[in-house]
Structure 1
Amino acid sequence: MSRTVLVTGGTSGIGRAVAAKFADGHTEVFITGRRPDTVERTAKELGAHGVVCDATDPGRVAALADRFETLDVLVNAAGGLPQPAAGEGPELEAVLAEWQANLAQNLLSAVLTTTALRPRLTSGSSVISIGSIGAERRGGSYGAAKAALAAWNASLSGELGPQGITSNVIAAGYISGTNFFQGGLADDRYRALVEETHNKRPGTVEDIAETVHFLASPGARHITGQTLHVNGGAFTTR
């Protein structure tokens, strides 16, 4: 049976890998991004539908939702580490801008998109949001936003569960093949991130894509309200 999948932030990194994984099967895949040229190029390469959409813009998100009658899988992959604003301003204003940017990109983008698409979800649908190991330790405003994402997911799962809809977060550890650090990851920091894993390797975008694909599969219908840590053992739970 053909399914419809929407991946926000699907033009690069984890989002692109997730879209590519679903595009391999009998699935109609939609990806979003903020840059028209990147969206068009990536959609063509993946054989997906591309939609220009800033997931922090309520109007754009509402227009995105209008494209769907039903939706089987929603993957909230939009997010990242916002670039600091150019120039210097009063300290408190700079702090406020940083926190607002992180909350918008890493929490509100998922909240807005899921709220808009919620009427299109049906029994058997899945909502999967990309979190971070940064929610567990020294993550600053980024980590706080990802921690809030997990807390929101637990509430969302309780609301969607009676309708047969699952909702989970994948908390990724260090993942190579993304532009998260925007070229600013020093060699010693890279070695430290790999060393703290149990399997002594960086994560890959494919690791996350495979986990997303499983959570959207029939075998994961009794998994909901969870934060799944995919980090090679760098952060463990019990």
Structure 2
Amino acid sequence: MIIDLTGRSAIVTGASGGIGKAIATALAAAGAKVAVNYLSSGDAAEEAVASIRSLGGQAVAIQADVSLAEGAEKLAREAKEAFGEPIEILVNNAGHLVQRLSNEEMTEDLYERIMDVNLKSAVFVAKAIIPGMKASGNGRIVNLTSVAAHNGGGPGASIYAASKAAVIAYTKGLAKELAGSGINANAISPGFIGGTAFHSTFTSAGAREATIQGIPLRREGTPEDVAGVALFLVSELSAYITGETIEVNGGMYMR
């Protein structure tokens, strides 16, 4: 079966590179009009849009700080204006470890920054988009969590892990809240995914190799591995799935 998203509009947050870019590209390739959200990487976002357009897709780059409620509202408003229709697909990909720091050293400011970018962003972008989805009677929300939500993460990442665990619980509650409205909400939990700024910034070469050796499939994942699952979850193939978290980790964590 071919997934066809023609006639549907989407937002992917944090989509200027890595997993977000791969998801935006996959949705556009399936026919969706895609808003590529970014915070500060404007050039990269425009490159992602240009790449999508070169392949015949439709996309627009929208700057917004989705860790702020007003930024989430701005993104929803500008995406609707750009496409002239309600957004029916939302992928909350924006997220960040921000900084590795032990609980002994944790500051209130860093705690809030981590929780805001990982959890608050998903909550308030969804809040801004849900009314339009309800009006159209059709919607798909996909929230990105992490394997850290299950295992507590690496050194200095306990708050990040907690924020991603909260995303899983939030997704379940949201799925129940929206049941009957034609809107499904699910989550994707990536494991060790290469080709992203996350591991380039926070993971040493030695830790990377050790992690790969512990993965049953013996390789790190790719952004495209995650994008394929996102494409499935926003399509009609997943019509009877809601409140679920799908693990994309090569077997490093099995439920």
Q: Same fold (TM over 0.5)?
A: yes
Task: Name the SS of the counterpart of 1:78 in structure 2.
Answer: coil
Q: Structure 1 residue 56: deviation in Å?
A: 1.1
1:56 aligned onto 2:67: yes
Matched, 1:42 2:58: no
**What is the CA-CA distance between 1:61 and the residue it aligns to?**
1.7
1:173 is aligned to 191
2:40 paired with 1:24: no
Distance 1:188 1:222 in 2: 42
What SS is found at the alignment partner of 1:66?
helix
TM-score, length of structure 2 as denominator length: 0.85
Does residue 114 (structure 1) correspond to residue 123 (structure 2)? The answer is no
Structure 2 unaligned spans of 5+: 1-5, 54-58
Which letter does structure 2 place at the counterpart of 1:30?
Answer: A
Asked if structure 1 preserves the Cα contact closer than 8 Å seen for 2:17 and 2:45, the reply is no
**CA deviation string 1:81-114 (max 9, x = no partner):** 11479xxxxx66x432222111011111111100
**Are the structure 2 counterparts of residues 171 and 200 from structure 1 closer, same or farther at C-alpha, using a change threshold of 3 Å?**
same
Tell me whether 1:188 sits opposite 2:206 in the alignment: yes
SS at match of 1:6: strand
- Per-residue CA shift, 1:109-141, capped at 9, x if unaligned? 111100111111133310001110000113201
Tell me: CA distance 1:177–1:49, structure 2 relative to 1, closer, same or farther (3 Å): same
Structure in which a larger fraction of residues adopt strand: 1
Whether 2:130 is the aligned partner of 1:130: answer no
Larger displacement relative to structure 2 (68-77 or 35-44): 35-44
- Percent identity between matched residues is 31
Amino acid at match of 1:14: I
SS state at 2:97 partner: coil
| Worse overlay, 100-109 or 193-202 | 193-202
SS at the partner of 2:90?
strand
Q: Mean alpha-carbon deviation: is it higher for 33-42 or for 204-213? A: 33-42
Question: Partner of 2:230 in structure 1?
Answer: 212
Q: Provide Cα deviations, 1:148-192, integer angstroms capped at 9, x if missing partner.
A: 000011000001111111100101000000010343422321122
1:201 and 1:45 map into 2 onto residues whose CA distance is: 27
Aligned partners of 2:152, 2:100: CA distance in 1, in Å?
Answer: 18
CA distance in 2, matches of 1:148, 1:191: 29
Q: State the distance in 2 between where 1:178 and 1:73 align.
A: 23
Evaluate the alpha carbon distance shift between residue 188 and residue 42 of structure 1 in structure 2; reply closer, same or farther with a 3 A threshold.
same
Secondary structure of the structure 2 residue equivalent to 1:147? helix
Q: Structure 1 length normalisation: TM-score?
A: 0.91
1:80 is displaced (CA, Å) by 1.6
Q: CA deviation at 1:198?
A: 1.5
CA contact (8 A) 1:84 1:98 kept: no
Higher mean C-alpha deviation, range 113-122 or range 75-84: 75-84
Give the AA of the match of 1:137. N
RMSD (CA atoms): 1.7
Which of residues 15, 28, 42 in structure 2 aligns to 1:10? Answer: 15
CA separation in 1, counterparts of 2:253 and 2:214?
9
Q: Distance in 2 between matches of 1:109 and 1:169?
A: 14
CA distance in 1, matches of 2:174, 2:160: 21
Aligned length: 231
Q: SS in structure 1 opposite 2:108?
A: helix
Runs of 4+ in 1 over 4 A off after TM superposition: none
Alignment-derived partner of residue 88 in structure 1: none
